[in-house]
Amino acid sequence: MKHNFGAGPGILPHEVFKQAAAGVLDFNGTGLSILEISHRSPEFEGVLDEAVKLVKELLEVPEGYSVLFLQGGASMQFAMVPYNLLPDGGKAAYLESGVWANKALKEAKYFGEVEIAATSKESNFTYIPKDFTIPADAAYFHITSNNTIYGTQLQKFFPSPIPVVADMSSDIFSRKINVADFGLIYAGAQKNMGPAGATLVIVKDEILGKSGRKIPAMLNYQTQIEGGSMYNTPPVFAIYVCMLTLNWLKSKGGVAEIEKENDAKARVLYEEIERNPIFKPVAATEDRSKMNVCFVVNNPEHEKPFLKLAEEKGIVGIKGHRSVGGFRASIYNALPITSVYVLIDAMQEFAEKNK
């Protein structure tokens, strides 16, 4: 058995794989594969409608927001957000809390002025900046809710005088949020929601149409809303698997219940990292991610032997990002706590052998 701690594309529920595989062979008794049905067919329109409905239900999306399934990943949203929300000659504010936040603000600079409200770059992004002022004259304030590379996460969100735009690619559906606190949320699917290829966008309708610029159709949120996420052929299979995954999440009791499981997984793993003399955590205690647990060894010579032991135990995907080193255990929604205990057992065994 494999225990998949990969950062993304990440683990998805096994029952979703089985349902998706069946749909590839024969989608809902149509005699056709989900890979070949028309995106304009009633069958697929039902899939898309159900996926949108589940997003609204699971996140309690209020009236006045549109839910879109787009393409291009979160990286496309780095450009779409300022293209749609940042007026010519205007300013946007960004919280620089990691590599992806930095990439997002670089894209925004093509469209207007960017003010970095705060940064933790000087510490290699080991913490989330807190004592800063959000500029009230900016068009929006952009945050990255969870930083996969560095293992940090916003444990609470900042009150803001301007619309908040959040990249929630790596912790969407992992904890309860108040969608009304945000002007726009976007997330690549490939962590907690589905396979790579689909991107979720939840946008407050009233913030659109104010940039004063002409926007190409594919990059215009209003065009995508009017087209019901089908201005062009959507990523049919990716949306189908998202729908299956969201149904799985609903069957488990929804976001509130999965948050309890995620809290438990993170708690026991961080406790072992703190207790074990071989390892030490990377991120500031108050900012530690409950999705991506980053840690290193006290003795660099122990890194490769521990990775070898982990591989022998069926543990995959824990090698840390090159900019941090060490290890990164991504504990997304579908990862059972039993897999976390397998990792903990390996850590304890390694410590016993290396006293």
CATH code, 317 = 3.90.1150.10
| Chain segment 107-150, per-residue pLDDT in tens | 999 999 999 999 999 999 999 999 999 999 999 999 999 999 99
| Chain segment 219-238, per-residue pLDDT in tens | 999 999 999 999 999 999 99
- The secondary structure of 210-229 as a DSSP string is -S-S---GGG-HHHHHHTTT
The reported pLDDT for the residue numbered 323 is: 86
| Chain segment 77-110, per-residue pLDDT in tens | 999 999 999 999 999 999 999 999 999 999 999 9
Mean pLDDT of 326-349: 98
246 plus 260 within the same structural domain:
no
The answer to whether position 1 is within a domain reads: no
| Chain segment 55-77, per-residue pLDDT in tens | 999 999 999 999 999 999 999 99
Whether the predicted pLDDT of 39 surpasses 90: yes
Whether the predicted pLDDT of 1 surpasses 90: no
The answer to whether position 219 is within a domain reads: yes
| Chain segment 17-37, per-residue pLDDT in tens | 999 999 999 999 999 999 999
Q: Which of 171, 191, 265, 319 is catalytic?
A: 191
The reported pLDDT for the residue numbered 62 is: 98
246 plus 265 within the same structural domain:
no
Chosen domain end from 227, 251, 275 = 251
Mean pLDDT of 308-321: 97
CA-derived radius of gyration, the chain: 21
Mean pLDDT of 328-341: 98
100 is catalytic: yes
Q: Which of 167, 171, 248, 265 is catalytic?
A: 167
Q: Which residue has the tokens 């949203």?
A: 77
245 plus 263 within the same structural domain:
no
**Helix (H) / strand (E) containing 278:** none
172 plus 239 within the same structural domain:
yes
The answer to whether position 264 is within a domain reads: yes
Chosen domain end from 213, 234, 251 = 251
109 plus 247 within the same structural domain:
yes
Mean pLDDT of 295-310: 96
Mean per-residue pLDDT of the chain: 97
Q: Which of 2, 49, 100, 156 is catalytic?
A: 100
Chosen domain end from 251, 276, 309 = 251
57 plus 85 within the same structural domain:
yes
Percent of the chain with pLDDT over 90: 98
CATH code, 76 = 3.40.640.10
The answer to whether position 166 is within a domain reads: yes
216 plus 291 within the same structural domain:
no
The answer to whether position 69 is within a domain reads: yes
Strand partners, 184: 165, 203
The answer to whether position 268 is within a domain reads: yes
Phi, psi of 289 (to 5 degrees): -75, 145
The answer to whether position 137 is within a domain reads: yes
Taking a C-beta distance cutoff of 8 angstroms, is the pair 333, 290 a contact? no
43 plus 169 within the same structural domain:
yes
The reported pLDDT for the residue numbered 99 is: 96
Scanning 65-176, the segments in alpha helix (DSSP H) are: 73-85, 99-108
The total number of structural domains in the chain stands at 2
Taking a C-beta distance cutoff of 8 angstroms, is the pair 113, 90 a contact? yes
Can you give the residue range of the structural domain that contains 303? Answer: 255-353
191 is catalytic: yes
The answer to whether position 53 is within a domain reads: yes
| Chain segment 149-182, per-residue pLDDT in tens | 999 999 999 999 999 999 999 999 999 999 999 9
